[in-house]
Structure 1
Amino acid sequence: MTGRLLNDYYTVTRDLGSGGFSTVRLGTNKSTGAEVAVKTIQKARGSDNALIRNEITMMTYMIQHKAVMKTNHVINMVDVFDEPRAVHVVLEMCEGGELFDRIIAKGQYSEQCAATAIQQICCGLRGLHTVKILHRDMKPENLLYKTKEEDSPLLIVDFGLSTIQGTPDAMDGLFGSLDYIAPEALTRKAHCEATDMWAVGVIM
């Protein structure tokens, strides 16, 4: 990870989006031509750096336990480049946009479409919870469709606030987005699988 430069391996072009502490751009592998999403955070942003490092820790852990997780509904990390001024996380490409955007575009989901989406979200969470990962920021903005097709798989993304149960927590404070936070999180009690499931209920 350290010592290698992103531009030696990937051609990075247009912006795909930005979040509270990162920018996501389109990347192309110079050897294979495969398209990826490159999530970048500048190290100068101080405390935000803890979020990206926590995300790298979580996704590295997921790679090590992928066989146990048994789910296709969690985004894959392809590579990490830790450069002097920035950290770049290379992720599989998702072109279908956020669940949030599809909800807005549709206006309303049919019962069948809603059931399919929730089933896929729960499948992803089951994989995470099997290996003791709590997401802690489940919301439509953190759920991406793999493609633009109507029946595209839905993937859980953004693990900056996640934690592994039974290990020291790398993050302090109140976690998640206010509209989706479970009661125990608001009262600073210990998070558990039910904390994520509460957010799924709000999404539904």
Structure 2
Amino acid sequence: MGCVESKKVVENVSSSDIKTVCHLEDVFGDEKCRSEGLSETEVKCELRVDDGNNLAEKIKLERLNKSNKFKTKYDPRITAKYDIKALIGKGTFSKVVRVENRLTKQPYAIKIIESKEGREAFEAELAILRRVKCPYIIQLVEVFESVDKIYMVMELATGGDLFDKIMTKGPFSERDAVKVLKMVLEGVKYLHNLGITHRDLKPDNLLYYHPGTDSRLMITDFGLAHTRRSADDLLMNTICGTPEYIAPEMVARRRYTNAVDLWAVGVITYILLRGDFPFFDADRIRLYKKILKGNYNLSDEVRRRRSDGR
């Protein structure tokens, strides 16, 4: 299926195993994505474990991750309150560790921003997380700041992301898709009421709080989000996001509104029902042309499942 990506760059993996994801400025030239305080473009890909060689690579990475957690010096306030368990993610300017509250034994995730550039990039995200309190959005618990680091203590989602769920169970029934979309749209509605546009909604950024069938789904990763400065500040012009999910007005380099989030929800809806992208091409220019034309098709199987009520 086309819906393959996360945030780990893996070396020594063949081109058939990964799909690179870039922001639009990489295609259109010198256009910068920093006019609203955004960070450098990240190259994203996912290791697909389909054979023994890739599995060995995954094990090597996991061992490296475990050793890396001991190479970071943590603020004494953090280690006094939390037991550091494992490194679970790493980005350009940050890393994420799984921790456990020493007193309550409650697990959390801590995002650690380790550089000046990282601080600048995550200030907007931190400002948003301080404001939001919604069951369908990842919650910020507390923040610790030191001279060279910021520690963001957040809810730990243990149920995996929606992408993982689609990969595991395949396309959703219409009934199950509706359950997912209700939670996503509740979160998006809450954000839009606060004047916040996410701009990178996708299955990878929708996390299940726990593995159970009754788990809530939470929106995460506000690195590209934009906050409206006033009631009249409705239009945005920064070109950013994940190519397969961006709206036609962004592809056309026109000013746009928070409706781009609803376009992304539409793409997610298609992926839920079919298990693939409505618009996909390995060549990004051809991909953007497909998005501008807006031509897509649901397979006969999806139509049959819908008519059967499944």
| TM-score of the superposed pair, with normalisation by structure 1 | 0.84
* Contact in 1 for aligned 2:237/2:255 (Cα 8 Å): no
Aligned to 2:243: 178
Which of 117, 121, 134 aligns to 1:51? It is 121
* Contact in 2 for aligned 1:4/1:82 (Cα 8 Å): no
The separation in 2 between residues aligned to 1:14 and 1:154, in whole angstroms, is 23
1:72-114 CA distances to partner (integer Å, 9 max, x unpaired)?
1011100112223322211112100111111111121111111
CA apart distance, 1:190: 3.4
* Contact in 2 for aligned 1:139/1:203 (Cα 8 Å): yes
Structure 1 residues 184, 166: closer, same or farther in 2, change over 3 A? farther
Q: Does 4-13 or 109-118 show the bigger shift?
A: 4-13
The separation in 2 between residues aligned to 1:103 and 1:120, in whole angstroms, is 16
Which of 175, 180, 185 aligns to 1:117? It is 180
Aligned to 1:201: 266
* Contact in 2 for aligned 1:23/1:41 (Cα 8 Å): yes
Structure of higher CA gyration radius: 2
The separation in 2 between residues aligned to 1:191 and 1:25, in whole angstroms, is 36
Q: SS in structure 2 opposite 1:121?
A: helix
CA apart distance, 1:6: 2.4
The separation in 1 between residues aligned to 2:199 and 2:176, in whole angstroms, is 24
Structural mapping, 1:1-204, within 5 Å: 5-19=77-91, 21-43=93-115, 46=117, 48-62=118-132, 66=133, 71-166=134-229, 173-204=238-269
The separation in 1 between residues aligned to 2:193 and 2:76, in whole angstroms, is 33
Q: SS in structure 1 opposite 2:97?
A: strand
* Contact in 2 for aligned 1:99/1:144 (Cα 8 Å): yes
Q: SS in structure 1 opposite 2:223?
A: coil
Q: Does 52-61 or 117-126 show the bigger shift?
A: 52-61
Percent of residue pairs bearing the same amino acid type:
35
CA apart distance, 1:163: 1.4
| TM-score of the superposed pair, with normalisation by structure 2 | 0.57
Gap regions ≥5 residues in structure 2: 1-74, 270-310
Number of residue pairs aligned between Structure 1 and Structure 2: 191
C-alpha root-mean-square deviation of aligned residues, in Å? 2.3
The separation in 1 between residues aligned to 2:226 and 2:215, in whole angstroms, is 28
The separation in 1 between residues aligned to 2:268 and 2:93, in whole angstroms, is 23
Q: Which amino acid aligns with 2:229?
A: G
Q: SS in structure 2 opposite 1:73?
A: coil
CA apart distance, 1:150: 2.0
* Contact in 2 for aligned 1:25/1:39 (Cα 8 Å): yes
| Structure whose residues are more often strand by fraction | 1
Q: Which amino acid aligns with 1:78?
A: V
The separation in 2 between residues aligned to 1:134 and 1:34, in whole angstroms, is 31
Q: Does 101-110 or 82-91 show the bigger shift?
A: 82-91
| Bigger relative CO (Cα 8 Å, ≥ 6 apart) | 1
The separation in 1 between residues aligned to 2:243 and 2:268, in whole angstroms, is 13
Q: Does 15-24 or 5-14 show the bigger shift?
A: 15-24
Q: SS in structure 1 opposite 2:128?
A: helix
